[in-house]
Chain A
Amino acid sequence: MNQPQDTWGTRIGLVLAMAGNAVGFGNFLRFPVQAMQHGGGSFLIPYLVCFFLMGIPLLLSEWAMGRWGGRFGYHHTPFIMGSLGQSPFWKYFGMFGLFINIAVAAYYCYIESWTLAYLWNSVQGTFMGKTPDQVARFFDDYVALGSVQPWFFWIFCVGINVFFLARGLRQGIERVALIGMPLLFLFGLLLAIRGVSLKAGEMGAIYPGTVGLNYLWTPDFSSIWRPEVWLAAAGQIFFTLSVGMGAVQCYASFVRANDDIALNAMSAGWMNEFVEVCLGGAIVIPITVGYVGIEGMQALLAKAGGIGLGFRTLPYLFTQWGPVLGLVGGVMWFSLLFFAGITSSLAMGAPLVRLLEESFQLKRTMAAACFGLIVLLLGVPIILGFNQGVFDEFDYWTGTVALVVFAFIESLLFAWIFGINRGWAEINRGAEIVVPRVFKFLLKYVTPLILLAILGTSMPEIYAKVTHAALYKELAQTTDAAEAASIRAVIHYRNLARLLLLGLLLGLMALLGWILRRQAATPARSATE
Chain B
Amino acid sequence: MDLAPPGGDSSKVGHRIELGRDHFAIMFLEQKHHAMNRSALLAFLATNLMVSFFTVYYLVKVLRSRGYSSPAEPEAPGDQKN
Q: A11-B68, A256-B72, A274-B51 are in contact. Are A267 and B61 (CB under 8 A)?
A: yes
* Bound-state Cα–Cα, A277 to B52, Å: 9
Minimum CB distance partner of B58 in chain A: A267
Shortest A49–chain B CB gap in Å is: 13
Judge whether A71 and B75 touch: CB under 8 Å.
yes
CA distance A529 to B82 in the complex (A): 20
**A208-B35, A277-B51, A433-B61 as given contacts; A7 in contact with B43, CB under 8 Å:** no
B65 CB to closest chain A CB (Å) equals 5
Bound Cα distance from A296 to B76, whole angstroms? 62
Cα A8 to Cα B77 with chains together (Å): 22
Q: Which candidate, A130-138, A213-221, A374-382, is the interface stretch facing chain B?
A: A213-221
Given A266-B58, A432-B61, 8 other A-B residues pairs in contact with their CB atoms under 8 A:
A7-B72, A14-B68, A41-B44, A72-B77, A210-B36, A214-B40, A270-B57, A273-B54
A282 to B: closest C-beta gap in Å: 8
> B2 within 8 Å of A by Cβ?
no
**B42 / chain A contacts, CB cutoff of 8 Å:** 41
**Which residues 52-82 of B sit at the A interface, judged by CB distance below 8 A?**
52, 54-55, 57-59, 61-63, 65, 67-68, 70-77, 79, 82
Tell me if B58 and A219 are in contact (CB < 8 A): no
Give every chain A residue within 8 A of B57 (Cβ-Cβ).
Answer: 270
Q: Is B4 an interface residue (CB 8 A)?
A: no
**B72, A271: Cβ atoms under 8 Å?**
no
Mark A residues whose CB is within 8 Å of B. Answer: 1, 3, 5, 7-8, 10-12, 14-15, 40-42, 44, 48, 70-73, 83, 207-208, 210-211, 213-214, 216-219, 253-260, 263-264, 266-267, 270-271, 273-274, 277-278, 429, 432-433, 528-529
List, sorted by A's number, 15 A–B pairs whose CB atoms are closer than 8 Å: A7-B68, A7-B72, A8-B71, A11-B62, A11-B68, A15-B62, A41-B47, A73-B74, A210-B34, A210-B36, A218-B40, A257-B75, A263-B58, A274-B52, A278-B48
B43 partner residues in chain A, CB cutoff 8 A: 40-42, 44, 217-219
Q: Are B71 and A219 in contact (CB under 8 A)?
A: no
